[in-house]
Amino acid sequence: HSALTQPPSASGSPGQSVTISCTGTSSDVGGYNFVSWYQQHPGKAPKLMIYEVTKRPSGVPDRFSGSKSGNTASLTVSGLQAEDEADYYCISYAGNHTPVFGGGTKLTVL
Partner 1 sequence: QGQLVESGGGLVKPGGSLRLSCAASGFSFSDYYMSWIRQAPGKGLEWVSKITTSGTNKYYADSVEGRFTISRDNANNALYLQMNSLRAEDTAVYFCARDRYSGGYWDYFDYWGQGTLVTVSS
Binding positions for partner 1, rule: CB under 8 A: 32, 34, 36, 38, 44-48, 51-52, 57, 89, 91, 93, 97-99, 101-104
Which is closer to partner 1, CB of 18 or CB of 37? 37
Which is closer to partner 1, CB of 77 or CB of 89? 89
Least gap, CB of 44 to partner 1 (angstroms): 8
Under a CB-based contact definition with an 8 Å cutoff, are residues 84 and 49 in contact? no
Least gap, CB of 34 to partner 1 (angstroms): 5
Under a CB-based contact definition with an 8 Å cutoff, are residues 47 and 39 in contact? yes
Burial tier of 45 (Cβ tally within 10 Å: 0-12, 13-18, 19+):
exposed
| 84 phi, psi to nearest 5 deg | -80, -10
Least gap, CB of 84 to partner 1 (angstroms): 19
Which is closer to partner 1, CB of 17 or CB of 55? 55
Distance CA 29, CA 8 (A): 19
